[in-house]
Amino acid sequence: MGPHLNLKVMMMKILRGTIFGGMAFFLFGWLIFGILMMDFSLANTNQCANKPMDEMIWWAIIAGNLISAFLLTLILNWTRAEVWKDGLQIGALFGFLYALSIDLGFWSMTTMFNNFKALLVDVAENTIMWALVGLVIVLLWGKDK
């Protein structure tokens, strides 16, 4: 297999990971944040900056999901993730570190979280979501040939 073919295979793998991962981020985000943990979030976070559902900007949500999936796909590709366990572990580790860094910034500079427990729950939710999306990406992007 020549270098040109390897590049094409890698680009298709990244494209598939980004598309499937973006869909997974959207669905898992809706399930985790929009259904399972919505009541907890409403009770433990400051809602003053949140838009009503009918005013959300859906193209930006979709673009954000695709960008997150692209980032995770690149990380999984760079770490040579090959099996479902790799996707779970690498997704969880990156999700944990990413969410913790963002949430600590919010904790220090905003009134977003009403208590530290809400911050910890958000980090856990994100860790689980990133782990599941990592799993989906590795399972669906295909094997190198």
* Whole-Å CA distances, 74 to 14, 61, 70: 7, 20, 6
Domains of the chain by residue range:
3-47+55-140
CA 90, 94, 99, 100 dihedral sign is positive
Per-residue pLDDT of the chain (145 residues; tens, 9 = 90+): 556 668 888 899 999 999 999 999 999 999 999 999 999 999 999 999 889 989 999 999 999 999 999 999 999 999 999 999 999 999 999 999 999 999 999 999 999 999 999 999 999 999 999 999 999 999 998 665 5
Identity of the residue numbered 58: W
C-alpha span between 79 and 92 (Å, rounded): 14
Neighbours of 56 (CB within 10 A): 11
Residue with tokens 């980032």: 71
